[in-house]
Amino acid sequence: MDSNTPRILAQRVGLPRELGTAGATSPLERPWTSAIFKEPVAGPVWLSRTGLAGDGQAALKVHGGLEKAVLAYAAAHYDFWRERLERADVGPGAFGENWVLSGGTEDGTCIGDMLRMGGARVQVSQPRQPCWKPARRWGRKDLALSMRRIVPLAMA
């Protein structure tokens, strides 16, 4: 992402909820708690030092907080994931991201870059380290490893 050009194309928030089916035999279908399902929001949303209003995380030890307040993802990656996962429904919010950005990919972005997003100034703090929850959402055991190829950005 060229730090001068990204724009927020979609903004999403969500709170933790219980998912899965009690008694399921497949580990991918057993009960779990996550906020990976983010819903679209229109208009301005308050961004604090720890995240967007109306957004939350289920595992605060590894998600959210000062160094991971917002998860941003380049819109340019969705075509790759639709093909890789063989699912037409992969799009904004597919991986729990808060902001879907225009302006290229992470190739031109470095930790420490400052971006102006609406009325906020944010700093790229780290790449996302994918956990097991996208794998559960999409029913693909290998997804966390595959996601390391295309890594969304955490911003503070």
pLDDT tens digits, 112-135: 999 888 888 999 988 877 788 888
125: in domain: yes
110: in domain: yes
Where is 47: in which H helix or E strand? strand 47-48
31: in domain: yes
Q: Is a pLDDT exceeding 60 seen at residue 18? A: yes
Residue-averaged pLDDT of the chain = 86
61: in domain: yes
Q: Is a pLDDT exceeding 70 seen at residue 149? A: no
88: in domain: yes
Q: Is the distance from CB of 124 to CB of 70 less than 8 angstroms?
A: no
Domain with 123 in it:
10-155
126: in domain: yes
Neighbours of 86 (CB within 10 A): 9
Q: Domain with 121 in it: what CATH number?
A: 2.40.33.20
150: in domain: yes
Q: Is the distance from CB of 155 to CB of 72 less than 8 angstroms?
A: yes
Question: d(Cα 78, Cα 10) in Å, to the nearest integer?
Answer: 13
Helix (H, G, I), strand (E, B) or coil at 82: helix
Share of the chain above pLDDT 70, in %: 92
Region of 20 on the Ramachandran plot (φ > 0 left; ψ -120 to 50 alpha; else beta): left
4: in domain: no
Neighbours of 25 (CB within 10 A): 7
Report the number of distinct structural domains present in the chain. 1
